[in-house]
Structure 1
Amino acid sequence: MWNAEDEGVLTLPSGRLIRGRGLRRSSATGDPQFGLYLLGSAPPDPGWPYTWLRWPDFRLPADKEAAAAAFADALRRAGDERVEVACGGGRGRTGTALACIAILDGVPAGEAVAFVRRHYHPHAVETPWQKRYVARFSSRP
């Protein structure tokens, strides 16, 4: 499991830990056991199991159903695996995904952006449409 005090590690209401990260920076806290990568094009194989969601920078996921399923899988895996969610910079797309995962873990949709900004990064969820996506997020398409 991650250490709750490590950089980028978000503690969800259930106590599960999930790490957010910008892929442009290396990690000092070790490798995950599973990664959810939010990028406009497929990442190189990181050497551990992962899911790639096509998600261009400053936009929304190309496939919202696949995104909801990937968020649920990341939350489930975080119960006993070191899971990271990452995009290029680690704020907009990563923050949006973490906010949706927090909703799945019990944070009310209207509070999810503030929760992630308070507990992960103050600039998480960068655009108005990312905020709207979180506010309207449901595990069902």
Structure 2
Amino acid sequence: MTERWDAAAPGVLALPSGRLVRGRGLRAPLPAGPLPTFAVHLARRPGAPTDWESRWVRWPDFRLPSDAAGLRTSLVEAWERSADERVEVACGGGTGRTGTALACLAVLDGVPPGDAVAFVRNRYRRRAVETRGQRRLVEGFSG
């Protein structure tokens, strides 16, 4: 088992099960502290290589993922690994796509799909999940 995220650290979302997942923006500097052991990067193109294992999901800003099944596979893996690893979800700014993915992780963790956006907005970022399409993606996501 790896050292967990600090639950009080910026961007760290505590899921109902106690799992901790960090959301962040890839354009911002890497936060101080331990590095992720696994990440899901949500972007139009793959980013620079990282020192940790990661999955890339093609997802243009303000839109929906190009491959919904690929997103689901990556998020299920992230949720499973978050039980005992430092998992991070990140997009360019850390708000829309990241917030949407965090809301989907909350659904996987047992939050009802209709409550997941509010759950993430209250515990991660007030403006997370930026578009109606992103909200619909969360509401249609099943655990």
TM-score after normalising by structure 1:
0.96
TM value normalised by structure 2: 0.95
The alpha carbon displacement at 1:46 in A equals: 1.1
**Does the residue aligned with 1:126 lie in a helix, a strand or coil?**
coil
Q: Which residue of the other structure, out of 82, 88, 103, is the alignment partner of 1:84?
A: 88
Say which SS state the counterpart of residue 20 (structure 1) adopts: strand
Uncovered stretches (5+) of structure 2, i.e. residues with no partner: none
Is the counterpart of residue 12 in structure 1 residue 15 in structure 2? yes
Kept after mapping to 2: 8 A contact 1:6/1:29: no
How far apart, in 1, do the equivalents of 2:8 and 2:19 lie? 13
The number of residue pairs the alignment matches comes to 139
Q: CA RMSD in A?
A: 0.8
Q: Where in structure 1 are there 5+ consecutive unaligned residues?
A: none
- Give how far 1:13 is off: 0.5
Q: Tell me the secondary structure at the aligned position of residue 80 of structure 1.
A: coil
SS in 2 for 1:103: helix
* 2:133 alignment partner in structure 1: 129
Match in the other structure for 1:119:
123
SS of match in other structure, 2:77: helix
The amino acid across from 2:34 in the alignment is G
